[in-house]
Structure 1
Amino acid sequence: MSSTKNAVVTGATSGIGEAIARNLATDGVRVTLVGRSDDRLARTRGRIVAAVPDADLRLERADLSLLGDVRRLAERLASPPPDIVVSNAAVVADVADRTPEGHQRTLATNHLAPYLLLRSLVDPIGARRARFVVVGASPRGLARTPVDLDDLELHTARGLGAPRSFRPFIAYARTKNMNAMFVYALARRLEGSGITVNGAHPGIIRGTHLGRSSNRGLLRAFAAISHLFSPGGPDVGADTPTWLATAPEVDTVTGQFFVKRRAVATAPHTTDPARCDRLWDESARLVGQPAAL
């Protein structure tokens, strides 16, 4: 049996995701790059191979805003099952932007996709050891943006505030809080298994292209200001997620959120077990899965 580890990185065709994939390839891990475009996947493979000539890369095209694509992706990834999954893909979409399946696009891509993908891979992994890493956002920055558990799909504008051009970022922030809540809920459900689940904030990083689909108003201005004051590029942002995916010292650590390789507390509204369980159950309903894992 091969000792080569298999990793999956979503949102791998640029920015932090590409840097994580390159880091893993450098460590001798076989990496599956997940992205929406065959052309972008091929160009990313070219860049990684140029930096790591012996990189063992596989390409998987999937639109993670579509749950049907996520289900089919999970089926393809199940054999052989991954040892590492880094959920990194994220978008900032207009609040009114609905996928063909009827889900709000930011919610579908940033939360429902990792929720469905990771729980779908639990059975194929079985008793083997594996690490799930969910790339989130700043716990401090998100503390004042609790998830509205009564309106995950943003059918109302309740709590999104004004001006309207900034609302997509508030919706994005809510999904990043969902990422932390999902980490805690899944880690509890996998307690005693060989799978660890942790979250990571990569920092405010240049070159992520998160806001490229929302080039208007204050959201565009915020993206420009963030770019000016961000401390580093994708390689900086990839450090903590890569460390969580590979470092021996965190081999058995689970259910925590990390910033700069240090475990930190997230807001009480993200750690409350009742709220986490409610998000879990509602997410299960939205993706058509039973609540029980």
Structure 2
Amino acid sequence: MSTSPEGQRTALVTGANSGLGKAISTALAAEGIRVGLVVRDRARGEKALQDIRAATGNEDLHLFVADLADQSAIRALAQAVHQRLGRLELLVNNAGTAFPERRLSPDGIECALAVNHLGPFLLTTLLLDLLKASAPARIVNVGTRITTAMEFEDLNWERRPYSMMKGYGQSKLGNLHFTFELARRLEGSGVTVNCVFPGVFKSNLGGTDGAQGVLLKLFARLLGWAIPSPEKAARRVLYLANAPELANVSGRYFGDRKTIPAPAQTLDPQANRRLWQISEALTAEPAVAGS
């Protein structure tokens, strides 16, 4: 198990090899924070690690490779974080993706839902003991500003025609349901959880033809050079991660340093609990035969 100097914070950032995740990781490393980078591709992760070390001089960086669509990989990731880091004061659930057509994860779950909602749900719940033991600690969920509602009766898109934007929007709405319900469950624990919309920024989310690629093409026609960089978008996330005035603030949805309205469905405590229960069922480990 790696040890950190007394008083040094430890952070874990998912989707850390490029874009917003890399910008967040670089800024945290520049502050002297010990950072764990979660990536899907080892080669790209190693390159990001080298870039961040060169940019910040911080050698206390740790690479974790895991496909967040695969629940067995998430469980192995959580175990590795426990063993290698030993403490955790900040978890940034940043990784997100979109798919042009319906595809299933290794666990038989629609991939946008698997990565964007169930991935952070499972990883966070598996790391809660570490976060509580390291309190005060913060969880920051990176959301999106899409006003929609979850179809609880068809989360896996088995009855409806699949839509990339609707699939992405529904899965990311899960981040808000999760944030609000988790905040309720964490009251008094010393661990806070908030969700942030980082704004529209230059990203490779879903590839050139993915959800954000399509949006960026539209914004590029309207704004051109005005599309923010990941570094600028990272400032919103870093505010939630670091601001002293947010030490005891939990269960909020933020834009640029202030709270913003959340879609109506996510403000319903019963809906939040319902998605939590569904998520628990979808991430339960299969029973071992004969047990």
C-alpha distance after superposition, 1:253-291 (max 9, x if no partner): 1000100010122011111001111000000000007xx
Partner residue in 2 for 1:210: 205
The one of 123, 139, 142 equivalent to 1:132 is: 139
Give aligned pairs, total: 275
Q: Unaligned 5+ residue runs, structure 2? A: 286-291
Give the deviation of 1:172 after TM superposition. Answer: 0.3
Partner residue in 2 for 1:163: none
Contact 1:81 1:121 in 2 (8 A): no
The one of 146, 149, 154 equivalent to 1:146 is: 149
The one of 26, 32, 54 equivalent to 2:58 is: 54
Which segment is superposed worse, 275-284 or 118-127?
A: 118-127
Alignment pair present for 1:225 and 2:228: no
Q: How does 1:153-192 map to 2 (within 5 A)?
A: 153-157=156-160, 167-192=163-188
Partner residue in 1 for 2:275: 279
Secondary structure class of the residue paired with 1:131: strand
Give the deviation of 1:251 after TM superposition. Answer: 1.0
C-alpha distance after superposition, 1:220-244 (max 9, x if no partner): 6444224554631101110111111
Partner residue in 1 for 2:28: 24
Contact 1:96 1:104 in 2 (8 A): yes
Partner residue in 2 for 1:5: 9
Partner residue in 2 for 1:87: 93
Which segment is superposed worse, 21-30 or 88-97?
A: 88-97
CA distance in 1, matches of 2:180, 2:227: 28
Amino acid at match of 1:271: L
Residues 178 and 121 of structure 1, relative CA distance in 2, 3 Å threshold: same
Amino acid at match of 2:36: T
Contact 1:181 1:276 in 2 (8 A): yes
Contact 2:69 2:106 in 1 (8 A): no
Residues 204 and 219 of structure 1, relative CA distance in 2, 3 Å threshold: closer
Partner residue in 1 for 2:106: 100
Partner residue in 2 for 1:43: 47
User: TM-score under structure 2 normalisation?
Assistant: 0.89
User: TM-score under structure 1 normalisation?
Assistant: 0.89
Give the deviation of 1:114 after TM superposition. Answer: 0.3
Contact 2:204 2:212 in 1 (8 A): no
CA distance in 1, matches of 2:92, 2:182: 14
Residues 132 and 221 of structure 1, relative CA distance in 2, 3 Å threshold: closer
CA distance in 1, matches of 2:213, 2:53: 33
CA distance in 2, matches of 1:173, 1:78: 32
Amino acid at match of 1:280: W
CA distance in 1, matches of 2:220, 2:99: 19
Contact 1:197 1:254 in 2 (8 A): yes
Paired-residue identity, %: 34
Give the deviation of 1:129 after TM superposition. Answer: 1.7
Give the deviation of 1:48 after TM superposition. Answer: 1.1
CA distance in 2, matches of 1:200, 1:22: 19
Contact 1:10 1:34 in 2 (8 A): yes
The one of 104, 117, 120 equivalent to 1:111 is: 117
CA distance in 1, matches of 2:229, 2:212: 20
Contact 1:16 1:234 in 2 (8 A): yes
Secondary structure class of the residue paired with 2:154: coil
Amino acid at match of 1:102: G
Residues 57 and 205 of structure 1, relative CA distance in 2, 3 Å threshold: same
Secondary structure class of the residue paired with 2:69: coil
Q: Unaligned 5+ residue runs, structure 1? A: 161-166
C-alpha distance after superposition, 1:69-89 (max 9, x if no partner): 111111111241311000000
Secondary structure class of the residue paired with 1:4: coil
CA distance in 1, matches of 2:216, 2:242: 31
Residues 46 and 172 of structure 1, relative CA distance in 2, 3 Å threshold: same
C-alpha distance after superposition, 1:117-168 (max 9, x if no partner): 1111112333422100000011xxx22x21111111111226x6xxxxxx11
Alignment pair present for 1:71 and 2:93: no
Q: How does 1:257-276 map to 2 (within 5 A)?
A: 257-276=253-272
CA distance in 2, matches of 1:226, 1:5: 37
- Alignment RMSD, CA only? 1.9
